[in-house]
Structure 1
Amino acid sequence: MKDIMKSLPAVIIALVILVVMASIVIVQPGERGVVVNLGAVSDEILDEGLHFRVPIVTVVKKLTVRIQKDILTARAATKDLQYIESGVIVNWKIDPEKTNRIYQTIGDERQIKDRVLQPAVEEVVKASTALRNAEMILVERADLKAEIERNLDDRLSKHGIIMLDVSLVNFEFSAEFNKAIEEKQIAEQEAKKAQFIADKAKMEAEAQVNIAKGESEAKRLINKELTQNILALEFYKKWDGKLPEVYVMGKDDNMNMLLPIGGKK
């Protein structure tokens, strides 16, 4: 009995230490504490730092309010009924001022992803892709991203979740569509090649025509020059060296003169 009495103070001290330790709650940087009293979520939200609670009666559930990154998968159909699968990277965080209500209505971070984030991403992607055909999605990727980001932010904000950024990665279409795109690209390249060959042939033909025209004009000028020279030569061959008896010379438009030259009469 004496031994028990001797050890009682130590036991009491140990119990006190345990109670004090159980009463202390430390909320780490980037966290918020949700206070639950006998199973009921309190309006109080614990900020970072040291706090005290009533053991057994009060439980503190810690949630991170730091930026989180989740890579989700969304499957949808386009306007022209092409099925696609896309990876969606979402950067989000819990609104620190709504931590207790989020925990009360949704749960912790894992439950937020499963119950809110994943369904919201799938719904928004389906709604946006249904307005576009497959080729438009490839061409208007930036517009699609902006639309998904805007609609997703509207949905998540209703739950107290702040959406910071969305990235669309790894768009995957069906094998049939990929084959059709490849065949179309090959056809376009072949059409461009054929057009280039046709344009080249046309330019070469026009060049040949211009060369032919130039040669023809050169021949004409040469023939003209030769004809004039031949006529002059024939004239000189037939000329007897005699000048005409008179030569008509006009001083102006209204007067002509007849001048004797001195040839035979």
Structure 2
Amino acid sequence: MEKIAYGVAVIVSFIILLIFFSPVTIINPGERGIMVTLGKASPVILGEGVNLKLPLIQKIIKLTIKTETARNSTLAFSSDLQTLKVEYAILFNLPENKLFDLYTKYSGNVLNSFVTPRLEESLKTITAKYTAEDFVRNRGAVKEEVYTLLKEKVSGVVNLNDFNITNIDLSDELEAAIERKQVEQQRAKQKEYELQSALKEKEITIVQAQAEAESVRIKGNALANSPRVIELEVVKKWNGVAPTTVVTGGGGSSIILPLGK
């Protein structure tokens, strides 16, 4: 049993030594390497594949040039002094021709040392232009403004591909106030719609009444100018049944006489 344990320990130690003293480093697709010799970085960027180094003297630092997604959150103040917790996500990648400068200036941690401070500065600058309610309502516009400002700040250093606001966390009191205002606005819109509908119906009624009055006026003028119009109206309303009485008389008096069958 002791021999087995000893053998395992030897194998593990050998693997560790092999890794530590290995003269070979493999750089994967989407990665690049920077050779560091006794603490001094070389400006020559190493490509994908097998790269040799001197054990204990040299080491190869791997940096990715793939598009990365970073998520974080920060606090920002609106123009009406409300505190907003804004959660966001950014898509970015490191330009290959800037890897040496980025490594030497930011120790390879470009996101935390360079991108994040400028992102949060941009976000707070834009947030201060909006009230809390307008910030929530105009989320898309805020996103575009932050993206544009941040892209200017990191231009020439990092490729910024996209920026998104994933969540806005408000206080319970502020959320309730915004919800109440939205309900009141919906009610106001409904009342405005009902008022417009009532006014429209009133206009229709007035137009119909005016049309009927005009029709009566035209008929009255026609009767005054041509008495035979009365006969025409009688003919229009006759149901085809012969009359059973006849009206006779003169001098302003009338007598109704029955007609024989």
The TM-score, its normalising length taken from structure 2, stands at: 0.66
Q: Deviations over 1:196-235 (max 9, x none)?
A: 443444455566667777888899989xx8xxx9xxx9x9
Q: 1:38 to 1:238 in 2, by over 3 A?
A: closer
Aligned counterparts of 2:113 and 2:52: Cα–Cα separation in 1: 32
Residue 237, structure 1, aligned to residue 235, structure 2: no
Aligned counterparts of 2:137 and 2:91: Cα–Cα separation in 1: 24
Residue 185, structure 1, aligned to residue 167, structure 2: no
Q: Deviations over 1:117-166 (max 9, x none)?
A: 332221110011112233443444333222211222233346x3221111
Q: 1:24 to 1:88 in 2, by over 3 A?
A: same
* Mapping for residues 124-139 of structure 1, pairs under 5 Å: 124-139=122-137
Q: 1:218 to 1:97 in 2, by over 3 A?
A: closer
Equivalence for 2:82: 82
Aligned counterparts of 1:170 and 1:71: Cα–Cα separation in 2: 11
Offset of residue 89 of structure 1 = 1.0
How many pairs does the alignment contain?
A: 213
* Mapping for residues 201-220 of structure 1, pairs under 5 Å: 201-203=198-200
- Residue number among 106, 120, 123 corresponding to 1:122 in the alignment: 120
* Mapping for residues 120-159 of structure 1, pairs under 5 Å: 120-157=118-155
Q: 1:67 to 1:207 in 2, by over 3 A?
A: closer
Amino acid at match of 2:129: L
SS at match of 2:130: coil
Amino acid at match of 1:83: T
Aligned counterparts of 1:194 and 1:86: Cα–Cα separation in 2: 36
Q: 1:41 to 1:211 in 2, by over 3 A?
A: closer
Aligned counterparts of 1:98 and 1:181: Cα–Cα separation in 2: 46
SS at match of 2:123: helix
On the 8 A contact 1:67/1:92 being kept in 2, the answer is yes
On the 8 A contact 1:74/1:121 being kept in 2, the answer is no
Residue 101, structure 1, aligned to residue 115, structure 2: no
Structure 1 residue runs of 5 or longer lacking an equivalent are 1-13, 240-265
Q: 1:205 to 1:70 in 2, by over 3 A?
A: same
User: Percent of aligned pairs with the same residue?
Assistant: 27
Aligned counterparts of 2:187 and 2:135: Cα–Cα separation in 1: 25
Superposed CA RMSD? 3.6
Equivalence for 1:249: none
Amino acid at match of 1:58: Q
SS at match of 2:190: helix
The TM-score, its normalising length taken from structure 1, stands at: 0.66
Aligned counterparts of 1:143 and 1:150: Cα–Cα separation in 2: 11
Structure 2 residue runs of 5 or longer lacking an equivalent are 1-13, 228-246, 254-261
Amino acid at match of 1:141: R
